[in-house]
Amino acid sequence: MPYTPLTKSAPRGVGSYDVLGYAVSKEEADKLLQSERGREALSADNGAVKITEELIDLGRNTFYQETFGNEYLFTDIVGILDGPINLGSISKAVLALKGKPTTNLQIPIDQDITVGSRTFKAGTVINTGLDVPKGSLFPLGVITHIKNAKPRVGITCVLCHATVSEETGRILEGAINTDINLGPLIAIASNSAALFRQTDVNPTKISPGQHGYINNEGEKAYLPDAKILEDEVDAAILSWAPGNFVSNGDLKNNSAQIPSSYTHGSWPYAWSGVASIGWFHGLTTLNNAVFGINADPTTTVDASESVLGIDKQVYLGAMLQNASNPKFRLPEGVQPSEFLERVDPTPGEPGINSTIRMPEYPKGSLFMQNGLMATTPGLPVAAQLNGMSAWQNTLAPPPHKSADIETLEHGAAVFAQANCAQCHSDRYFTNHKVIPVKEIGTQPARAPASRSFAQLFVPPDTYPSNVPVPLPQSPPVLLVTFNPQYPHVWFCFCNCFEVVPSYDLLFRSDQ
Ligand code: HEC
Ligand code: HEC
C-alpha cells in the first residue's frame, strides 16, 4: 500500500532491544553483547526482544492485515453483512469512485430499515467514514476471507488508526480515522446484541423471551427477549459519534475518541495507565487489548460473573441466540457454553479469536488484562504484538502545513505561559505520568471502567518471546516486573483505581 511519507519519522530503533519494558539502545546493546552476562541479559529467555527490520515489517503487516479471527465474530455472530451495507453495496460504492480516493465511502440503502428506534428510508445515504485509498478496490481495514465459498469480513487496526490524504489519495499511517462511523455500521447488523457488553444494556435486566436454554444448574430457563435486546443495543450503538468507539466492556455506553498511533516516546499508553508495564512500555499490552479483549466478548466469558455479575450462560446465550450464521446460532434447549465449544473455530482455547492462555487465566493481570494473548499459530509468543509496537514507534505525524512562523512562535509563548509544559514536556509533549482524575479534572465517567477487572488482577507474567505457538507443555514463564525507572506509572494506576494497596510489593524487582 502506498502511504504518504512523513516529515521526520521517529527513529526505527533497529539493533536496539526491549527487555520487557526496559529500553536498551543499540550502543548499550553492542557493549552488553560483548560479555556472557550481557548476552544473557539480552536473550529472549530473559524477556528481550531485538528490534529488527523483519520485526517492524511483521508489525506493519499485522496492523494492516491481521484480524486474529474476528471475522467469525463480526460476520457469523454479529451479522455485519446482513443489512444494507454488505459486500455488494460496498463494492458498488467503491467502483463508483472510479479509482478516486475517499475518506468517507457513501453507501445508499435500497430499502426502508428500522434500527433501534430510528428508521432509515430507502435512498438514505450512509456516511460510513470508511476510507478508500486511490486506486484501491476495498476500504482500508476491512478484510475479506473466503472459506468454503462463504465470504466473511473482519477488521484490522487501519480501520481506525489510519486515514487517506484527500490531496494525494495515499495512506496516512497512524493518523486518526476521525469520521469512521461505527454506529450505523454495527447497529445495522442483524445481531448487534452480541456486542451488548460495549453498551449500557444489561441482558439480565431484560424480561425473558421465548428462547429456552440450559443454565449452570442444568435446569431449563429463558434468555432475555431477543428483539428487545437487539433494539436497545442498536439504539445505544447508534449514539456513538463518528471517530468514536466503546473500548471498555463494562456495560457503560462511554465511547472514546480514537487516538493517533504516533507512539514513539509517548508512553504511558491509554488514559488510565492500564497499559504501562511489559514490552515497549506497555504498548504491546494495549495492542493485545484491542483484539484479545475488545473485539471479542467471548474472551471474557469466564470472568463475566465476577466482573459484570452476568451468569456465563446468559452472557453467551444473549450473544448467540440470534447469531447470523445458523451454525453459530444457539439451538433451543442447549447450554450456551457447551454449544460454543462445539462451534468455536479455535476449540480448546477461550474465545473465538485466536488467543493463547496466559498462566493465570481466567484471572487477568496488568500485562494481559483478561489473561489471554492474541496470537497466530506458527508465530512465536507476542511476535505480532511486539512487531506492531516496534512499527507504531516508527510513525510520526505528517508535515505541518503552516509556514507562518509568527503564529507558531505566538503559540509556543502561550503554551509556556499557561504552564502546559508542566505535563506536556519535551519532544513528545508528555512527562510520562498518569495524572489522577482528581488533579486533571477531566470527565471521570470512564475511571471505574477498568476497576472491576483490575481488582481481580494477579501478578503479571508472560512466556518469553521465543516460545512457539501453539504452546508446548509447561512453557517457561517470566515475571513481568514493574519498571523501577518509572515508578509513578504503577503508583498512579493504584491511586486512580484503588487497586489492592499492597500490590506494589509484588512488583518490586530484585534485578
Ligand atoms: C474500531 C476502531 C479501532 C480499531 C479497529 C483499533 N483501535 Fe486502537 N483505539 C481505538 C480507540 C477508540 C482507542 C482509545 C481507547 C480508550 O481510550 O479506551 C484506541 C487506542 C489505541 C491505542 C492507545 C494509543 C495511546 O496513545 O494511548 C493503541 C496503541 C491502539 N489503539 C492500537 C491498536 C491496534 C494495534 C489495533 C489493531 C490490532 C487497533 N488499535 C485497532 C479504536 C480502534
Ligand atoms: C496537569 C497536567 C496537564 C496540564 C498542565 C495540561 N495538560 Fe493537556 N493533557 C493532560 C493529560 C493527562 C491529557 C490526556 C488526557 C487523557 O488521555 O485522558 C492531556 C491531553 C491534552 C490534549 C489532547 C492530546 C491528544 O493526543 O488527544 C491536548 C491538545 C492538550 N492536553 C493540550 C494542553 C494545553 C494547550 C495545555 C496548557 C494550556 C495543557 N494541555 C495543560 C495533562 C495536562
| Protein residue with least CA distance to atom 14, ligand 2 | 271
The packing angle between helices 312-320 and 336-343, to 10°, is 60
pLDDT score for 484 = 53
pLDDT score for 302 = 86
pLDDT score for 489 = 46
Confidence of residue 364 (pLDDT cuts 50, 70, 90): confident
| Residues 342-346, mean pLDDT to the nearest whole number | 94
Confidence of residue 495 (pLDDT cuts 50, 70, 90): very low
pLDDT at 493 over 50: no
Residues of the chain with pLDDT > 70: what percent? 91
Q: Give the pairing type, strands 220-224 and 208-214.
A: antiparallel
- Concatenating the DSSP letter of every residue in 80-111 gives TTSSSSSHHHHHHHHHHTTT--BSS-EEE-SS
Q: What is the pLDDT of residues 40-59, one digit of tens each?
A: 999 999 999 999 999 999 99
pLDDT at 197 over 50: yes
pLDDT score for 505 = 29
461's enclosing H/E stretch is strand 461-462
| Cα–Cα distance list, 499 to 285, 443, 457, 502 (Å) | 19, 20, 9, 9
Ligand 2: atom nearest CA of 440 is: 1
| Protein residue with least CA distance to atom 15, ligand 2 | 271
Q: What is the pLDDT of residues 410-443, one digit of tens each?
A: 988 999 999 999 999 888 888 888 777 778 887 7
Strand partners, 462: 478
Confidence of residue 488 (pLDDT cuts 50, 70, 90): very low
Three-state SS annotation for 360-415: CCCCCCCCCCCCEEECCCCCCCCHHHHHHHHHHCCCCCCCCCCCCHHHHHHHHHHH
pLDDT score for 390 = 98
| Residues 365-382, mean pLDDT to the nearest whole number | 93
Query: Is the peptide bond between 362 and the residue preceding it cis, with omega within 30 degrees of 0?
Result: yes
Output the average pLDDT for the chain: 88
Ligand 1 pocket test: pick from 130, 290, 496 the residue with the most ligand atoms within 8 Å of its Cβ: 290
Confidence of residue 279 (pLDDT cuts 50, 70, 90): very high
pLDDT score for 462 = 95
| Residues 193-217, mean pLDDT to the nearest whole number | 96
| Grid cell digits, residue 474 | 509447561
pLDDT at 498 over 50: no
The residue among 363, 382, 374, 342 whose CA lies nearest residue 465 is 382
pLDDT at 508 over 60: no
The Å distance, Cα 413 to ligand 1 centre, comes to 32
Ligand nearest to the CA of 390: 1
The Å distance, Cα 178 to ligand 1 centre, comes to 13
pLDDT score for 459 = 84
pLDDT score for 292 = 66
Cα separation of 219 and 268, whole Å?
47
| Residues 360-382, mean pLDDT to the nearest whole number | 92
Residues of the chain with pLDDT > 90: what percent? 67
